[in-house]
Amino acid sequence: MDLKGFGAQIATGAGLTLLVAALSLVIGLAIGGLGAAAKLSGSRPLRVIADAYTTLMRGVPELLILLLLYFGGTVLLTWVAGEYVEVNGLGAGLFALSLLCGAYTTEVLRAAIQSVPRGQLEAARALGLRQAHVVRLVMLPQVWRLALPGLGNTWLVLLKDTSLISVVGLEELMRKSAIAAGATHQPFTFYAVAAGVYLLFTTVSVLGISALERRARRGLARA
């Protein structure tokens, strides 16, 4: 296929797409861990805050959250700093995707933690394991196995949602393709190339996720 010399540009954009998605996943997982802990905690205010966070994030379009953070961030930072500060697409995009990913992983992790049978924790305690050991040896391996399908799903959603950041000007895969499409007057060709690259990313991800799932299940008796 003739990419009219835009191949390198699109490859750079694809790299940025992967980077943004990966960073958002890491930050989102940290937020999700805190969120799940808050939802399962005994403290009512913490639970209310975590519930409000997940409800808002899952009930409002991703694009709107991104736009609010992009334009709203500039207004807020300018007001705080007293001079004009502009939030760039990368900052707003990372922030928005991390918050979104955090909301999804909060639910995934909460459900996974709750699915570990209580009897196993009691058994571990009865065997005299310390709390740290109970978490590391009994809880975490099972939470990981139970949360993997949901986390994998979140990763796929995240990967596709990175395309939204092109709307606020970040030069990732989608934006680079749009630039090439405009310059060459061949929009179909370049958006099809972008679609192909996204499809490649999701295919590799799906294969990777199912390999991880198989590994996480290895100690489990087959039904």
Partner 1 sequence: MDWQLMLDSLPRFLAGAWLSLKLIGISLVAGAVLSLPIAFARASRRRVLWMPAFAYTFCFRGTPLLVQLYLIYYGAGQFAWVHDSWLWPLLRQPFGCAVIAFAINTAAYQAEILRGGIMAVPVGEVEAARALGMSEWLILRKIVLPQALRLTLPAYGNEIILVVKSSSLASTITLLDITGVARSIVAESFAVYEAFLDAGAVYLILTFLITRAVGAAEGRLMRHLQREDLAKVPSLVPLGS
The residues binding partner 1 (CB under 8 A) are 56, 58-64, 67-68, 71-72, 74-75, 148-150, 152-153, 156-157, 160-164, 166-167, 174, 178, 181, 185-189, 191-192, 194-195, 198-199, 202-203, 205-206, 209-210, 213
Closest contact distance (angstroms) between CB of 68 and partner 1 is 4
Which residues, other chains included, contact 172 with Cβ-Cβ below 8 Å and sequence gap of 6+? 13, 14, 16, 17, 20, 162, 163, 165, 166
Rank residues 135 and 156 by Cβ distance to partner 1 and give the closer one. Answer: 156
Closest contact distance (angstroms) between CB of 129 and partner 1 is 31
Closest contact distance (angstroms) between CB of 202 and partner 1 is 4
Tokens, residue 101: 């990913």
Closest contact distance (angstroms) between CB of 99 and partner 1 is 13
C-beta separation of 65 from 96 below 8 A = yes
C-beta separation of 212 from 28 below 8 A = no
Closest contact distance (angstroms) between CB of 12 and partner 1 is 18
Rank residues 28 and 152 by Cβ distance to partner 1 and give the closer one. Answer: 152
Which of left, alpha, beta for 185 (phi over 0: left; psi -120 to 50: alpha)?
left
- The DSSP output letter for 161 is H
Rank residues 95 and 198 by Cβ distance to partner 1 and give the closer one. Answer: 198
Tokens, residue 29: 């997982």
Q: Which residue has the tokens 């305690």?
A: 125
Closest contact distance (angstroms) between CB of 124 and partner 1 is 26
Rank residues 54 and 124 by Cβ distance to partner 1 and give the closer one. Answer: 54
H helix or E strand, kind and range, residue 51: helix 44-59
* Pairwise CA distance, residues 216 & 223, whole Å: 16
Rank residues 123 and 182 by Cβ distance to partner 1 and give the closer one. Answer: 182
Rank residues 54 and 134 by Cβ distance to partner 1 and give the closer one. Answer: 54
